[in-house]
Structure 1
Amino acid sequence: MTQEDGRTGSRERILAAAAAMLAEDVTASLSVRAVAARAGVSTGSLRFHFPNQRALKDAVLGRIYGHMFPDDPIKDRSLPARDRLVTCLRQVLAPAGVGEQAREAWTIAYRTYIAAEPTEEVRAAYLGLEQGGWRRIEYWLSVLADEGALPKEDHARRVRFLLTVLNGLSIERALPAGDSILESETETLYLAVDSVLSGL
């Protein structure tokens, strides 16, 4: 085995270990020591392949979402970054539906996470859902950062902002509406995306 083969092998073991940790616990922080131990490599080897935790997270999210969503619209570089990100965010809203379907989804969410006693099990279930959404948006932003549409930095503020906008829009879908909800929703999504792309 050449030195290059060893490096490639350790990189793959690191990515597999990080993905397995996320599969077991979506709230896992992917600390350098924990991932290195799980992969059976030194922290130095991990740092060689992934100089910081952000690089590791981006690589593992890219691997996971690339496998789960091979036709993810964020990868369609024939469209502007803003259009791709709006399309991706709309995918998050789509499963909740509009009107009665959205009201039913929010009724279930209220019963499960708000009205219920905030036990550790309820808290862990909600945090798992939230982390899933967080990581998906974080992945989309990291793709845009790799293309130069965003700075390569921690996107926590941007993700939090977009999640807040999505939560508000999903509630709006459940409320009685006089005008076209999809038209106002599209306008709101573009305003949010423009804010994120312009340096929120």
Structure 2
Amino acid sequence: METRESEPSTRDRILIAAATMVSEDPGTRLSVRAVAARAGVSTGSLRHFFPTQRALMDEVAAGITGLVANKNDIEDTTVPAEGRLLACMQQVLSATGTGEQARDTWRRTFGTYLSSELNADAIDTYNALSAAGLRHIEHWLDVLEEEGALPPGDNAQRAAYLNVVLDGLSVARALPADAARIRSETDVLQHTISLLFHTAAPMPAGGSD
């Protein structure tokens, strides 16, 4: 007997439509009317699930980030903690691609956020995507710290550090490089992760005699 796959829920249709609009134009304005029209739902239905434009943008950003790096991978305790963090960071980098794909990614990024006058919608989109990415990385670190694998520390600060490393390596993927430089990417990630796991966190101010 032939079975039909279940149709996406109204909420999912809205998120898919909004994410598609952002992927097509990162500086697009996710207005209620435009997203509702793209999703084929009423504006009232959209506002039922997402009362504000910010709520919609935050959810879309979290969804896009989740597609790039699966949160479940960091919780797979059959893999050593440092190996899990390495795999998660490599997933993020893989979304950039290499060579021409990476150059196209960065051309679109620069075209949206650097080479033209920024509008409020582009700024909101960038901030939402950036914040979602940092929350994702911080989640990885929280999981590892709760396991006792990662020494206690400021995971928000650590996440910002890892994000800078990922940004740098992502740009490097777009530049002409020989095989040795590409292989060194893993070495950089492993060294960065090792610093987190094997460097003692600084003492809080006034915390020692």
Alpha-carbon distance, 1:153 to partner: 4.7
Instruction: List runs of 5+ in structure 2 lacking aligned partners.
Output: 1-50, 202-209
Alpha-carbon distance, 1:180 to partner: 3.4
- Quote the sequence identity (%): 38
Query: Match for 2:87: what amino acid?
Result: T
Query: Match for 1:117: what amino acid?
Result: E
For residue 179 of structure 1, what is the aligned residue in structure 2? Answer: 179
Alpha-carbon distance, 1:145 to partner: 0.9
Q: Secondary structure at the match of 1:170?
A: helix
Mapped pair 1:140 → 2:172: no
User: After the TM superposition, which segments of 4 or more aligned residues of structure 1 sit over 6 Å from their partners?
Assistant: none
Q: Retained in 1: the 8 A contact 2:57–2:125?
A: no
For residue 207 of structure 2, what is the aligned residue in structure 1? Answer: none
Q: Secondary structure at the match of 1:180?
A: helix
Alpha-carbon distance, 1:152 to partner: 4.5
For residue 24 of structure 1, what is the aligned residue in structure 2? Answer: 56
Distance between the aligned counterparts of 1:132 and 1:169, measured in 2?
A: 19
For residue 14 of structure 1, what is the aligned residue in structure 2? Answer: none
Alpha-carbon distance, 1:26 to partner: 2.6
Distance between the aligned counterparts of 1:87 and 1:23, measured in 2?
A: 30
1:19-42 deviations in whole A, cap 9, x for unaligned? x99853539xxxxxxxxxxxxxxx
Distance between the aligned counterparts of 2:155 and 2:87, measured in 1?
A: 19
For residue 123 of structure 1, what is the aligned residue in structure 2? Answer: 123
Distance between the aligned counterparts of 1:26 and 1:181, measured in 2?
A: 36
For residue 88 of structure 1, what is the aligned residue in structure 2? Answer: 88
1:157-180 deviations in whole A, cap 9, x for unaligned? 101110000000000000000233
1:115-160 deviations in whole A, cap 9, x for unaligned? 1212221111111111121011011001101101224554121011
For residue 46 of structure 1, what is the aligned residue in structure 2? Answer: none
Mapped pair 1:150 → 2:150: yes
Count of aligned positions: 144
TM-score if structure 2 supplies the norm length? 0.61
For residue 112 of structure 2, what is the aligned residue in structure 1? Answer: 112
Q: Retained in 1: the 8 A contact 2:70–2:88?
A: no
TM-score if structure 1 supplies the norm length? 0.64
Distance between the aligned counterparts of 1:140 and 1:182, measured in 2?
A: 25
Instruction: List runs of 5+ in structure 1 lacking aligned partners.
Output: 1-19, 28-60
Distance between the aligned counterparts of 2:101 and 2:80, measured in 1?
A: 31
Query: Match for 2:93: what amino acid?
Result: L
Q: Retained in 2: the 8 A contact 1:173–1:181?
A: no
